[in-house]
Chains A and B, each alone.
Chain A
Amino acid sequence: GGIITQTPKFLIGQEGQKLTLKCQQNFNHDTMYWYRQDSGKGLRLIYYSITENDLQKGDLSEGYDASREKKSSFSLTVTSAQKNEMAVFLCASSQGKNTLYFGAGTRLSVL
């Protein structure tokens, strides 16, 4: 079996700071995703990538950048952290239209 590893698990930032979240998968999946989840609510798609160097915008891409450096890794950058922002960022991968496998998340707090 494979695993999705997200780093860091917890991230505390300052208002206006640029913050980078990383995700690695060893499933050898083609597609990777970044979702944002607020207070145990629904999942909102930020970016996804169907192959290395590909990038597709989701519904919440404003304020974020992403990079698919290689097949196994997908990083997300918060371009300017907003004061009092709190959310969980979830990375996932899948092979085509098959089941998504999620990481445990990065929990962001902005002071």
Chain B
Amino acid sequence: QQKVQQSPESLSVPEGGMASFNCTSSDRNFQYFWWYRQHSGEGPKALMSIFSDGDKKEGRFTAHLNKASLHVSLHIRDSQPSDSALYFCAATRNNNNRIFFGDGTQLVVKP
């Protein structure tokens, strides 16, 4: 069973719009969450980490974590064509270094 589920599989937004990604985990021991972004032909790069319940904002990016519902989300406001990429949610437990990735959401931002 996939331990980290992402939705939607793909997303298309107009330039300047809001892009929203969802991630749900099936493991209550997950304590640490990340969002990664992968542009075509490159390796993934970390966008944000979130370890506490609530919102975390970095520029145009806002992550939200609710550990009780095992749900984490990412929102990109004022989306740009350069934001077009594959976005991954990742999570890990407190007691080891194994990191679990979701299957990713493909974002296309149309000019």
Contact = CB atoms under 8 A, between A and B. Distances in A.
Interface residues of B, number: 24
B34 A99 contact: yes
A45 B98 contact: yes
B61 to A, nearest CB: 15
Interface string B42-75: 1111100100000000000000000000000000
Contacts of B42: 104-105
A105 B45 CA distance: 13
With most chain A CB atoms within 10 A of its CB, the pick from B32, B97, B101 is B97
A58 B99 CA distance: 10
Interface size class of A (residues with CB under 8 A): 20 to 34
Interface string A77-111: 00000000000001010101101111111000000
A5 to B, nearest CB: 11
B99 to A, nearest CB: 6
B86 A40 contact: yes
